[in-house]
Structure 1
Amino acid sequence: MKNLLALKPYLLRYKRHLGEGFFYIILTNIFAVAGPKYIGQAVDAMGRTFRIQEVVGYASIYVLFSLLSGIFLFLVRQKIIVTSRHIEYDLKNDYFNHLQKLPRSFYDQTSTGELISRGTNDLNAVRDFLGPGIMYSINTFFRLFFAIIAMVALSPTLTFFALLPAPLLSYSVYTIGRSMQKRSKSIQESYAGITNLVQENLTGIRVVKSFTREDAEVERFEKLNREYYRKNLSLGKLQALFFAMLTAMTAFSLIPVIWVGGRAVIKGEMTNGGIAQFIVYVTMLSWPIISIGWVTSIVQKAASAQARLNEIFNTPPDMHDMENPESSASEKEQCNGSLVFRNVSFHYPSEPGTTVLESISFTVEPGSKIAFAGATGSGKTTLVSLIPRLYEPASGSILFNGRDIRTIPLDQLRKKIGFVPQNNFLFSDTIEQNISYGSSDSDPQAVIDASRIAMLDDDVESFPEQYRTMLGEKGINLSGGQKQRACIARAVAWSPEILVLDDALSAVDTATEARIFDALLQKLPETTIILISHRISTVKNCDRIFVLQGGLIAENGTHDELLRQNGLYTKLHNQQLLEDEILSIA
């Protein structure tokens, strides 16, 4: 239950609406409990000489009170249920906003399907608590409160017999409620597994079909779905038992009431109207008592769901600017793209014992073109990911234009860096919108200029809709090389001070690669360019090349200097020459 305390700020935000709903709940129950009094008076009137107008009068008052109770119940739903939708809206916005701020390391460890499940299924469970859960909890309390007061006023003895099942009811709610919470949490985890499987399957459907794994994937889904079905069935059986038990308790409580009440009527201690009125009150308690089980189920599901949401909300963005960062007199200062690494080390949070980078130090002069080479797993991608603070170094510091990057507000830092990652991602939007994605304004000429630098303009001009061509999911209607060049165009469209190309030319031929690199040098002469590539042909013209091995800088220098060292770079160079020779023979 303590997990639901996280909803307090949202409830306080709408306290006026909830307060009005609270007031209407009191009114609806006052009129609901006041009505049976006139049933009792009508019955007593019919036990003596009476006029039909008298009975009709009592019945009319009862109908009026029932009508007023219904009107106020409608207002209750308008205030509390509608408010729950407002809070759901706020929660979804806050959830998505928080996801945007979480670091890359969080997404390295959390599946997309899991996040979708928490943002849909779990949020719906919380919304049920905020609406029906709160409304029926308060309504049940006041219905019981007013009805019991009226019952005690009629007969304390009968009230005692009517409430005999209460201790057993309390124990059942506590015991079965805990079991329902555990089962609800297990169901939500199973649902997350199904969501993750479906998301991965639809994203990778081309791979599934290429390897004819459709039947195997269907079998995987059926297995997860069967488990989800089994857990839901288990919870449903428990809920059915709970509701049946509550209904039985209510029914059995009438037996002693009728027996003792009937004897009291015979002895003249109670009127026929009094016992009729009392039975109406006992019957009136049936739904509140039954709703305890329903509300308990809603609360337990919401508690499990909110616990899962709290795990996300309580995950802090680990990218924090230092307190009192230097003013962004950055707009006044000379921003020229210099970069300094000072004894930088790094390990992934999930693998604290494994050092990926160790004591990395180097300086990049403004406007220079440098490259990082090395075998797969040597730490190249991790190193460049530290520049825009996609990860935070474990130790050491990185200076950008003479300032520690932690003192530069994150949004300002990243606006100065164009980053093209290994995995090219394009949105299901037009080519124009994809290229201008990072720019503050959508300048058509800037889009065209960026496309020309990336050697994409000829391809786009051949499309019927040109820059307004809609792309499929992840740019499926573009070739691998076209997607890479579109991502390069997106990175250069805002004229960054530093351009990082992480193996961003691997899907284009060497001739196009050379043309792109020449265009970058001509159009962005003052931009610092950082390359990662497995091709020696890509990096050989850079001002300086750093060769990484095992998280360390093993060698550095120009292409000719590194060849003269006859070390790791020379080995990579000779290996590629041999591969090219073999390919030419083939």
Structure 2
Amino acid sequence: MKNLLSLKPYLLRYKKNLLAGFFYVILTNLFAVIGPKYIGMAIDTMNRRFELEHVLGDTALYFLFALLSGFFLFLVRQNIIVISREIEFDLKNDYFNHLQKLPRKFYNTTSTGELISRGTNDLNAVREFLGPGIMYSLNTFFRLFFALVAMIALSPKLTFFALLPAPLLSYSVYRIGSSMQKRSKSIQESYGAITNLIQENLSGIRVVKSYTRESFEIERFQKLNKEYYSKNLSLGKLQALFFAFLTSLTAFSLLPVVWVGGVSVIEGSMTVGGIAQFIVYVSMLSWPIISIGWVTSIVQRAASAQVRLDEIFSIEPEIEENSSDINSEEEFKGALSFRNVRFHYPGQEKRPVLKNISLDIAAGSKVAIVGATGSGKSTLVNLIPRLYEPDEGTILLDGRDIRTLPLKTLRELIGFVPQVNFLFSDTIENNINWGSRENDASEVIAASRIAMLYDDVEEFPDGFETMLGEKGINLSGGQKQRACIARAIAWKPQLLVLDDALSAVDTDTEARLFEALLERLPDTTILLISHRISTVKNCDRIIVLKDGMIAESGTHAELLEENHLYAELYNQQLLEEEILSIS
């Protein structure tokens, strides 16, 4: 329950509507309780000398108050239920925005399906609490309050007998409510597991089919689905038992009322109309008492859901944002400097990936980074846009510490093509133009020409309007890489990072593409990670990494002359090419 207090800021945004809803709840219940008074008066009129005018008048007043009660109930829903949708809108935006700020480490350990489950199922449970939960809680409280006041005014003795089951009711709500919360949390966790399994299977459906593992995956889904079904059934049985118990308790509370009331009428201390009015009040308590079970279920589900949401919201971004203003006239050329940079991944303090990296890269230069797998190449370039923070040392951009730059400013200067290509389920044009500051179709064509993609796209029936499947499945590996490179070029960055982004294209296309980059982007600093010497040999400078340290640095000719690691790699690739040509 305490977790629901984190929703207070959202409720305060709409306090005017909440106060209006609160006021309308009072009015709807006040008028609802006033109405039965005229039923009693009409019955008493009929027990005495029958006067049609009085009976019709009392009946008309009853209907009037019933209509007023219904009208204000409509206004209650228009305020409180609408507010719940507004807060749901705000929560979803805040949840999505927060996910955008979380570090890579978080996504390395958290499944996509789990995040989807929390952003849909859990948020919906919270929305039900903010809407029906709050509305029926207020309605139940004031209905009970006004009805009890009217009942006590009629007969304190009858009220006492009507409230005899109250202690048992309170105890039942407490015990069953805590059980509902535990079962609700377990259900939401099962739903997250199902969502994750579905997401993984749909994303990897080609792998599943390739290995003919459909039956295995179906069995996994059926097992999770059966578990989810059993947990829901268990909760449903508990809720049904609770509602049946509350309904029976309400019905039994009428028995002593009718008995004691009948005796009072015989004794002359109450009228028949008064007893009828009192029974109406007791009946009016039926729905509030029954709704206690429903509201309890909503609150418990929301509390469990909010716990899961707070687990995400409580995760702070690891990258500390700098809010300092940047001079709009300040220009960045793309010069990079690494000063004694050291980095290790979480839990691997004794095995740093980078050790004492010191490196200067001139603005507009084309620098290649080579080395064996695990030497730290990708980690090094990932530090530039602050996807990770170095443990020690400083990275400078045009002589300025990148930690002093706002993240948005820093990352807008960088075009990044990672090892794992990602394309959206959209047109090729929109994928290349994604996030572009100019949104110019001519820039898309120009970027695709530089990336050697234009001719391929022109062969498609719909050209640049071709819709891509999930992650660009209807493109080849090389086309996907070139589309991602075109997107980075269209971004017009001062610094372009290609992290093994040419591995899926043939050697000839790779050479032509890199020549186009050198020709069309003469002022752009390019960092190229590649395993092919045929590509990196044309760079201004080649950095060779070994075990997280700079082992060699120089031009292609200089490194061959030194005859160390780079020369070994070069000779090895020459030998492989000769073997392939012979075979």
Give the alignment's TM-score, normalised by structure 2. 0.96
Structure 1 partner of 2:418: 421
1:147-189 deviations in whole A, cap 9, x for unaligned?
0001111111211111112122112112211111111111111
Q: 2:474 aligns with which of 477, 489, 496?
A: 477
Aligned-pair CA distance for 1:568:
3.5
The within-5 A match list for 1:460-499 is 460-499=457-496
SS of 2:260's partner is helix
How big is each residue's C-alpha offset from its partner over 1:392-420, in whole Å with a ceiling of 9 and x where there is no partner? 22222110010000111111111111110
Rounded to whole Å, the distance in 2 between the matches of 1:539 and 1:15 is: 63
Q: CA deviation at 1:354?
A: 4.7
Match for residue 359 of structure 1 among 339, 356, 359: 356
SS of the equivalent of 1:35 reads helix
How far apart, CA to CA, are the structure 2 residues paired with 1:140 and 1:286? 10
Residue type at the aligned position of 1:241: L
Are 1:18 and 1:80, in contact at CA under 8 Å, matched by a contact in 2?
Answer: yes
Name the structure 2 match of 1:232.
232
Aligned residues of 1:495 and 1:524 also touching (Cα < 8 A)? no
Listed as ranges, the matches of 1:432-581 within 5 Å are 432-581=429-578
| Alpha-carbon separation, structure 1, partners of 2:136 and 2:263 | 36
Whether the aligned pair in 1 keeps the contact of 2:17 and 2:83 (CA below 8 Å) is yes
Q: How many residues align?
A: 583
Residue 431, structure 1, aligned to residue 428, structure 2: yes
| Aligned positions of 1:346-425 closer than 5 A | 346-349=343-346, 354-425=351-422
After TM superposition, give the deviation of residue 238 of structure 1 in Å.
1.2
Task: State whether residues 38 and 59 of structure 1, in contact with CA within 8 Å, keep that contact through their aligned partners in structure 2.
Answer: yes
Give, in angstroms, the shift of residue 60 of structure 1: 2.0
Q: Whole-Å Cα distance in 1 between the matches of residues 130 and 283 of structure 2?
A: 28
C-alpha separation in 1, matches of 2:568 and 2:394: 32
Name the amino acid aligned to 1:164.
Answer: L
Q: Which residue of 2 aligns with 1:106?
A: 106
1:176 to 1:571, Cα distance in 2 relative to 1, 3 A: farther
- Tell me the residue number matched to 1:288: 288
Deviates more, 1:244-253 or 1:187-196: 244-253
- What CA distance in whole angstroms lies between the structure 1 residues aligned with 2:524 and 2:368? 14
Counterpart-to-counterpart distance in 1, 2:579 and 2:174: 75
Q: Return the alpha-carbon distance in structure 2 between the equivalents of residues 350 and 558 of structure 1.
A: 37
Deviations 1:315-354 (A, max 9, x none): 222222335x3x422x434522111111222233465565
Q: Report if aligned partners of 1:340, 1:361 keep a CA contact under 8 Å in 2.
A: yes
Shift of 1:295: 0.3
Contact 2:322 2:407 in 1 (8 A): no
Structure 2 partner of 1:302: 302
Instruction: Calculate percent identity across the aligned residue pairs.
Output: 73
Q: Distance in 2 between matches of 1:422 and 1:562?
A: 26
Q: Secondary structure at the match of 1:425?
A: coil
Question: Mean alpha-carbon deviation: is it higher for 141-150 or for 195-204?
Answer: 195-204
Q: Give the C-alpha shift of residue 540 in structure 1.
A: 2.5
What SS is found at the alignment partner of 1:529? Answer: strand
Counterpart CA distance in 2 for 1:356 and 1:178 is: 48
Residue 543 of structure 1: how far off its partner (Å): 2.6
**Distance in 1 (alpha carbons) for counterparts of 2:268 and 2:344:** 86
Partner deviation per Cα, 1:264-307 (whole Å, 9 max, x = no partner): 22222222222221111111101000100100100111111112
Distance 2:147 2:351 in 1: 66
* Structure 2, gaps ≥5 residues long: none
- Counterpart code for 2:286: S
Residue 459 of structure 1: SS of its match in structure 2?
helix
Instruction: Name the CA distance, whole Å, in 2 between partners of 1:163 and 1:345.
Output: 72
**Structure 1, 521-530 or 43-52: larger mean CA deviation:** 43-52
**What SS does structure 1 have at the residue aligned with 2:387?**
coil
For the residue of structure 1 that corresponds to 2:356, the secondary structure is strand
**C-alpha contact 2:92 2:119 (8 A) present in aligned 1:** yes
Larger deviation: 342-351 or 188-197? 342-351
Q: Would you identify which runs of 4 or more consecutive aligned residues in structure 1 move more than 4 Å?
A: 350-354
Greater mean deviation of Cα atoms: 257-266 or 560-569 = 560-569
Separation in 2 of the partners of 1:140 and 1:550? Answer: 68
CA contact (8 A) 1:105 1:348 kept: no
Give the Cα separation in 2 of the matches to 1:347 and 1:255: 74
Instruction: Give yes or no for the alignment of 1:140 onto 2:144.
Output: no
Change (3 A) 1:223 1:582: farther
Partner deviation per Cα, 1:225-273 (whole Å, 9 max, x = no partner)? 1111111111111111111111122122122222222222222222222
Counterparts of 2:66 and 2:492 in 1: how far apart (Å)? 71
Are 1:430 and 1:470, in contact at CA under 8 Å, matched by a contact in 2? yes
Contact 1:433 1:442 (8 Å CA) reproduced: no
SS in 2 for 1:531: strand
Q: What pairs up with 1:26-41 in 2 under 5 angstroms?
A: 26-41=26-41
**Contact kept? 2:364, 2:523, Cα under 8 Å:** yes
Q: What amino acid does structure 1 have at the position aligned with 2:478?
A: G
In the alignment, the residues of structure 2 paired with residue 369 and residue 470 of structure 1 have an alpha-carbon distance, to the nearest angstrom, of 34
Q: Determine the C-alpha separation between the residues in 1 that align with 2:45 and 2:519.
A: 103
Separation (CA, whole Å) in 1 of partners of 2:505 and 2:174: 65
Q: Is the 8 A contact 1:344 1:358 kept in 2?
A: yes
Match of 2:12 in 1: 12
2:333 is aligned with what amino acid?
N
- Distance, in Å, in 2 between the alignment partners of 1:286 and 1:407 is 64
Structural RMSD (CA) = 1.8
- Deviates most, 314-323 or 286-295: 314-323
Deviates more, 1:297-306 or 1:251-260: 251-260
Which amino acid counterpart does residue 270 of structure 1 have in structure 2? M
- Name whichever of 573-582 and 183-192 sits farther off: 573-582
CA distance in 2, matches of 1:549, 1:163: 81
| In structure 1, distance between residues paired with 2:398 and 2:559 | 28
